[in-house]
Amino acid sequence: MLKKCAIGFIGAGAMAEAILEGLLKRREITSNQVSMVNRGDRDRMTTLVKRYGLEVAKQTIDHVALADVVILAVKPKDAEEALTFWQNRLRPGQLVISVVAGITTQTIEEFVQNGVAVVRAMPNTSCAVGLSATALCGGRAVTEQQFAMAERIFMSVGSVVRVDESAMDAVTGLSGSGPAYIYYMAEALQTAGMHAGLPAETARQLTVQTLLGAAHMLMESGKEAEQLRREVTSPGGTTMAGLEVLRRFDVAEAMKMAVLRAKERAGEMGKRGGC
Ligand SMILES: NC(=O)C1=CN([C@@H]2O[C@H](COP(=O)(O)OP(=O)(O)OC[C@H]3O[C@@H](n4cnc5c(N)ncnc54)[C@H](OP(=O)(O)O)[C@@H]3O)[C@@H](O)[C@H]2O)C=CC1
Ligand SMILES: O=C(O)[C@@H]1CCC=N1
């Protein structure tokens, strides 16, 4: 299905690249199917053209306008300007997939012509390695076939859940921003390992493998996180001592507040075009 599809990107930043990289790595598409434009950073486009073997002649507004699927990947603060520019260039029958945090399908539909289908997606940068957690919701004019196309794109770079649009800001707070929370934790663990006397590279290796192993256990063991945690925690042992410190600092509450604040921020960005 994707092999016959011309894919256009409006925006050439971190998220556009992660999606592109994932689709190419998984061989879902080839580089000659891709057109991408940004606002003006030519060096960035040259880098992407070289890195992914994109056809220079296709990286134009006209080619993006002809794409079957157009992925909108600009910052929320730039969405209005981009949509104003693109409103008469996008055509009925095209599918627009927006990954812009906070901006609703209804807002996008107010810009584009009738008949342009809109899907809102909230992936994360793990698209680049085929492991995004993506949530999708459809706008007013999207057909099941078009929605299936969006599902196919994001399933090829990770897992997909379909949600009601009212859940999208919560998704953004959890899994859209989530990789950064995990990287923050990884930085903290690595630094902690160094404080405990390990060389930097050893602390890094042990941190990464511990995160990877724990993620696989969560995926494959069929056990809940709570049970897995209990299995590591011997009564009176080292883990119990460590967890007591995390509880004293109320890390669970901090995590909850982080997700809620990120969700709230998504709502703010949608309303005011902030960020
Ligand atoms: N990064 C992440 O982890 C995630 C991001 N998102 C969402 O993805 C979107 C993009 O984020 P991210 O990739 O990180 O942002 P970046 O800042 O890395 O990239 C934004 C891109 O948009 C381009 N751009 C801005 N205005 C226009 C315009 N009018 N026409 C064409 N291109 C334009 C910029 O071009 P130039 O540099 O030339 O100005 C740049 O290439 C955001 O809305 C974000 O909410 C969603 C999930 C995860
Ligand atoms: O930080 C942001 O606003 C974007 C949205 C989700 C992840 N990054």
DSSP output for 149-214: HHHHHHHTTEEEEE--GGGHHHHIIIIISHHHHHHHHHHHHHHHHHHTT--HHHHHHHHHHHHHHH
Ligand 1 centroid to residue 206 C-alpha, Å: 33
Any idea where the domains of the chain sit in the sequence?
Answer: 2-168, 178-269
Options 1.10.3730.10, 1.10.3720.10, 1.10.10.10, 3.30.1360.70; CATH for 178-269 is 1.10.3730.10
Q: What's the gap between Cα 214 and its chain centre?
A: 21
Rounded distance from Cα 220 to ligand 1 centre (Å): 34
Q: Kindly state if the Cβ of 89 falls inside 6 Å of ligand 1.
A: no
Which atom of ligand 1 approaches the CA of 179 most closely? 3
pLDDT in tens, 212-259: 999 999 999 999 999 999 999 999 999 999 999 999 999 999 999 999
pTM exceeds 0.90 for this model: yes
Give the number of the ligand closest to the Cα of residue 75. Answer: 1
Q: Which of the four pLDDT bands, split at 50, 70 and 90, describes residue 272?
A: low
Average pLDDT, the chain: 96
Which residues lie with the beta carbon below 6 Å from any ligand 2 atom?
101, 172, 176-177, 275
User: How far away, in angstroms, is 13 Cα from ligand 1 center?
Assistant: 5
